[in-house]
Amino acid sequence: MEQKQWQCLMMQCLGMLVLCLGLCAVFSGGLNREMKTTLVKAEVRSYAEAERKDIEVATGPALQPELAVPGETPRDKILVLDAGHGGTDEGAWDQSGNPVEKKFNLMVVKMLKEKFDQTPGIQVYYTRLTDTLVPKKKRVAMANKLKADAFVSIHCNASDPGDTASKGIETLYSKRKTGKSKISNQALAQQIVDNLSASTGLKNRGTIRREGLYLMHHSKVPATIVEIGYISNKSDLKYLNSKKGREKIVEGIYNGIMISLEGETK
């Protein structure tokens, strides 16, 4: 083959190579854009699906109502009881380093369930009845979705390491409006802490306004957090470890809720 023909062939091959590379670049760019668009759409769908599932979990079969004694008007009042923390969210620790808050919270709620199971006219929902993690968002969404007459969350207090003197019971509330409800957050909190104090004899630390807490800030229904004692204090911890002590705590909370919902102790 002559040198001129060889050069011509080489030029044609180089031209075709450049053309192929150009086409590949165009195709690759379009594919990347398509892939990015698909990923964005997938992320949006995933987020929307997660939001939908949050609501379903908050109000679905996993958190169905525990109807007490069926009556003619079982939905006269709706109560949501929340055992704070749970699962990997252990809550406060005692001075020995034992994560006991979630345990006491659940024990008290289960004992309250026994009392409300025998209380007609009030339909009670529980955010958890086992040692499981339920996100705060789902707890609050449940109470709001149900338009509960009261949302009561049970917790234990704990002071800073080295402080063993702080003790007693208290309730937390927010000044947020609760729609058309006749019960204010503060009134609910006051009734419960007063009855809890009368029943247990534990130091009454009163009601404390706490606007920044998630439950306080996002609840659209009457809500309070009940701190049933300091697990960092020896005397309070001993009281919580006592079955009789827990019975007195349950009695006080129950009476406070009933007075708030019905105007009288059942």
pLDDT tens for residues 47-60? Answer: 334 333 433 333 33
| Residue 169, CA distances (Å) to 69, 83, 86, 201, 265 in order | 31, 16, 21, 10, 21
| Arithmetic mean of pLDDT, 151-177 | 94
pTM of the model: 0.74
Residue 181: which of 260, 80, 90 has the closest Cα? 260
Look at residue 99 and give its three-state secondary structure: coil
Burial environment of residue 139 by CB neighbours within 10 A (0 to 12, 13 to 18, 19 or more)? buried
pLDDT digits (tens, 9 = 90+) for 202-226: 999 999 999 999 999 999 999 999 9
Q: What digits encode the pLDDT tens for the residues 67-123?
A: 433 344 446 899 999 999 999 999 998 888 888 999 999 999 999 999 999 999 999
Check: CB of residue 83 under 8 Å from CB of residue 155.
Answer: no
Predicted local distance difference test score (pLDDT) of residue 146? 94
Site of tokens 């002590």: 245
CA atoms of 157 and 162, how far apart (whole Å):
14
Q: The sheet that has 223-230: what strands, in order across it? A: 66-67, 122-126, 77-83, 150-157, 223-230, 169-173, 204-209
CB-count exposure of residue 175 (10 Å: 0-12, 13-18, 19+): exposed
- The CA angle 45-49-51, to the nearest 5 degrees, is 120
Which residues touch 118 (CB under 8 Å, ≥6 apart)?
Answer: 68, 69
